[in-house]
Amino acid sequence: MSSHSSFRRFLLLGRPAADAVLAAPGRDARIDVIRGLSLLIIFINHMPGNVVSAYMPHNYGFSDAADIFVLLAGVSAALAYGGLIEQRGLAVAGLKLGARIWTLYIAHIAVFIIVCGVVATAVTRTQNPLYIEAINIQPFFRDTVEALIGALTLTYQPSYLDILPLYIVLLALFPAIYYAARLSPLLTLACSLAIWQAALAFELNLPNGNAGVWFFNPFAWQVVFTLGVVIGRAAQLGIRAPRLPWIDVMAVAFIAFAWAVKITSGNPTGIAALNDWFDSVQLGSDKTNLAWTRLLHIGALAWLAIRWLPAGTALAKAAPGRMLASAGQNSLHVFCAGIVLSIIGQILLAETSFDPGVQLLICAGGATILTGLGIFLSWYRSITKRGASAESAPARGAQPSRPSFSSR
Amino acid sequence: MTVVALGSSATAGSGASADDKSYPAVLQAELRRRLPGAEVRVVNKGVGGQSAYDMLLRMQPDVIDEKPAIVIWQTVINDAIRDIGEDKLGKILRKGVSKARAAGIEMILMDLPWLPREGRYPHYDDYRAVLAKTAQDQGISLFPRYAMMKGWSNSRQFTPEELVGMDGLHLVDAGYRCLALRLADGIVAGIGPVRIEAAGNSARQTN
């Protein structure tokens, strides 16, 4: 029963009980593997109309890879920057966070420029205008100056270039969310939900272009990120999810319900009052403003993953898990490469009239390149780190490091 | 009389040299010229890259709340590109049409553009068929943009460049202008006078 009380104490007060048995914190391969997998799914889904995307999770549930990506962003921010706040204080963590946000910003701008170049090349070579339409990049060709300023200020986001701006805003909010979660995770989640609902009521969102709004409304998606921060904070404290079979059962039941709703067409219940609801989840989902169904679905998935997927490094033992983990560990690079590749993929698909063989080839080829990139970057880091530590060891010894002198 | 132009980039006016060269802007000028005395307003609600479902979500705030007599819905292009499924599209369109109808708004659906090489999108004609069938079943007008553009291209009145712009899709100024003039023809000749009268009456009543 101690895990129950410890978990309850954590939810209310942000602390485990003093006598609680805690899990030893260590790198959790589940995060890397699942993130790697969701990066590949995002790549496939960013080539709409391809045959593989018809089998991707968004066809079988309310939430999709984007929700997982944002949730894991919260988890890993809590582990990385939350840990830094605990060890080095807010100032150092804030600087690190600022550096990370700057990196994300530069990456976003670079991807924007590359995508514009790719599309411009494709359109002038093929005379097919729809490539511009498909990713809403007309403003860049129509009024380049305005669009460029919009891109730099994140107020113009072509399709598919909308996740990094969300990530930037969420990371900027991280210290506030983290400190709140330290006080009381339950209260933090309640506030987060209240902000989301208020934004819905007052139709708050950030502007995108002349008439539109952000595809991922930060006022809504901060809920998923906050949930991730709370999960990450629990992991940081070594708090285990309590054994509550009724929650397991409810989570499975909800996921099964979502699956049943998504694979049917229309309203099988025959209750007229539910017609609109069935239409709303079957015809399209409210990805911009999040929806309770999305949130419950990602919550159920997260609960089951925490409870039933083996913790530690078990998931990354076998080769597929290890490869996915490599992609997940280098998520920014793999994500950016995936965006560019998926847009090149869209063009190749259309130029080959969506030939089924080419579709499979592009999906498999892209997934191979992305996992290959992840594996390469992990390897690259490991060999450069080895070199760096060898070099820096004598350098550190030569430095007059004050604490060590005074202590001796 | 208010007309709302709901649509994606062709409505927003991409490819046009200036804001007043988009088709809704030209349509407004033309309707004002042809219907002196009537206070005509054409509201541009085009957002580039949007699917039919995205626009269905905008139907209440962007269309119904503007209280127009007519809404011109230019859509389906992004659904055809993404191949979202014909049944799904048909459902979305029917919902949009009935929403507008329930609010007492006349709807004109706009056909897809003609493309120099449609083979890239094997289901392009299927999606056009969904659009045509919806218009027929619901008894609303389908503005024959595809046939018009194809005609322009065959008659060689315009070079392909002039017709679809440097990006090959977006009507440049001349194309937008022709589109707007033909729409104005339809509105003035067909439902126009009746509607204006009705709009005038209701305006007097509410005043």
Domain edges within chain B:
2-206
**What confidence score (pLDDT) does residue B162 get?**
60
Does residue A212 sit at the B interface (CB-CB below 8 Å)?
A: yes
For B8, nearest residue in chain A (alpha carbons): A133
Q: Is the pLDDT of residue A190 over 70?
A: yes
Q: How far is A143 from chain B (nearest CA, A)?
A: 9
**What confidence score (pLDDT) does residue A21 get?**
57
Taking a C-beta distance cutoff of 8 angstroms, is the pair A338, A39 a contact? yes
Does residue A142 sit at the B interface (CB-CB below 8 Å)?
A: yes
Q: DSSP assignment, residue B3? A: E
Alpha carbon of residue B199 to chain centroid: 21
A286 or B75, which is more confident? B75
**What confidence score (pLDDT) does residue A248 get?**
96
Tokens describing residue B3: 């007309």
- Enumerate the residues of chain A whose CB falls inside 8 A of the CB of residue B16: 142
Q: How far is B32 from chain A (nearest CA, A)?
A: 25
ipTM: 0.80
Q: How far is A204 from chain B (nearest CA, A)?
A: 14
Cα dihedral: A133, A134, A135, A140 (round 10): -20
Beta carbons of B168 and A128 less than 8 Å apart: yes
Looking at every residue in chain A, the average pLDDT score rounds to 89
Does residue A280 sit at the B interface (CB-CB below 8 Å)?
A: no
Beta carbons of B12 and A210 less than 8 Å apart: yes
What integer is the mean pLDDT of A364-387? 93
For A348, nearest residue in chain B (alpha carbons): B120
Q: How far is B204 from chain A (nearest CA, A)?
A: 32
The tens digit of pLDDT for each residue in A108-149 reads 999 999 999 999 899 888 878 788 877 888 888 777 898 899
Give percent of chain B above pLDDT 70: 83
Q: How far is B119 from chain A (nearest CA, A)?
A: 6
- Enumerate the residues of chain B whose CB falls inside 8 A of the CB of residue A290: none
**What confidence score (pLDDT) does residue B187 get?**
84
Residue A117: domain span: 70-250
What integer is the mean pLDDT of A85-92? 95
Please give the order of strands across the beta sheet that includes B2-7.
Answer: B41-46, B2-7, B70-74, B106-110, B141-143
- pLDDT 10s digit of each residue in chain B, 207 long? 899 999 988 888 776 767 778 899 999 999 999 888 888 999 999 988 889 999 999 999 999 999 999 999 999 999 998 899 999 999 999 999 999 999 999 999 999 988 877 788 999 999 999 999 999 999 999 999 898 888 877 777 666 666 555 444 455 677 788 888 888 888 887 654 444 444 444 433 333
Beta carbons of A211 and B88 less than 8 Å apart: no
- Enumerate the residues of chain B whose CB falls inside 8 A of the CB of residue A133: 8-9, 48-49, 77-78, 81, 169
Residue type (1 letter), A77: A
pTM of the model: 0.88
Q: Quick one: residue A359, left, alpha or beta (phi over 0 = left, psi -120 to 50 = alpha)?
A: alpha
Beta carbons of A141 and B8 less than 8 Å apart: no
- Enumerate the residues of chain A whose CB falls inside 8 A of the CB of residue B97: none
**Domains in chain A, number:** 1
**What confidence score (pLDDT) does residue A132 get?**
81
Cα A25 from Cα A28, distance rounded (Å): 8
What integer is the mean pLDDT of A324-337? 96
Beta carbons of B81 and A49 less than 8 Å apart: yes
What sections of chain B are H helices per DSSP? 9-12, 23-34, 52-58, 77-82, 86-102, 124-138, 145-155, 160-164, 173-189, 192-206
- Alpha-carbon separation of residue A375 from A28, A40, A43, A193 (angstroms): 18, 14, 17, 38
Beta carbons of B9 and A133 less than 8 Å apart: yes
For A59, nearest residue in chain B (alpha carbons): B84
Q: A241 in a domain, yes or no?
A: yes
Taking a C-beta distance cutoff of 8 angstroms, is the pair B107, B70 a contact? yes
Q: Is the pLDDT of residue A368 over 60?
A: yes
What integer is the mean pLDDT of A350-372? 96
Q: A226 in a domain, yes or no?
A: yes
- Enumerate the residues of chain B whose CB falls inside 8 A of the CB of residue A142: 14-16
Instruction: Nearest by CB to A130, from B56, B81, B87: name it.
Output: B81
Helix (H) or strand (E) segment spanning residue A194: helix A185-201
Tokens describing residue A260: 């049943």
**What confidence score (pLDDT) does residue A397 get?**
42
Q: DSSP assignment, residue A331? A: H
Cα dihedral: B43, B49, B52, B57 (round 10): -70
The tens digit of pLDDT for each residue in B16-49 reads 767 778 899 999 999 999 888 888 999 999 988 8
Cα A65 from Cα A174, distance rounded (Å): 21
Q: Is the pLDDT of residue A211 over 70?
A: no
Q: How far is A92 from chain B (nearest CA, A)?
A: 42
| CATH number given to B2-206 | 3.40.50.1110
Q: Is the pLDDT of residue A45 over 50?
A: yes
Beta carbons of B48 and A279 less than 8 Å apart: no
Helix (H) or strand (E) segment spanning residue A192: helix A185-201
**What confidence score (pLDDT) does residue A233 get?**
94
The tens digit of pLDDT for each residue in A216-239 reads 999 999 999 999 999 999 999 988
Beta carbons of B14 and A282 less than 8 Å apart: no
Q: A385 in a domain, yes or no?
A: no
**What confidence score (pLDDT) does residue B196 get?**
42
The tens digit of pLDDT for each residue in A61-76 reads 999 999 999 999 999 9
What integer is the mean pLDDT of A312-318? 86
Give percent of chain A above pLDDT 90: 66
Instruction: Nearest by CB to A134, from B46, B81, B84: name it.
Output: B81
Give percent of chain A above pLDDT 70: 91
What integer is the mean pLDDT of A327-353? 96
- Enumerate the residues of chain A whose CB falls inside 8 A of the CB of residue B18: none
**What confidence score (pLDDT) does residue B1 get?**
87
pLDDT band at A25 (very low <50, low <70, confident <90, very high): low
Does residue A282 sit at the B interface (CB-CB below 8 Å)?
A: yes
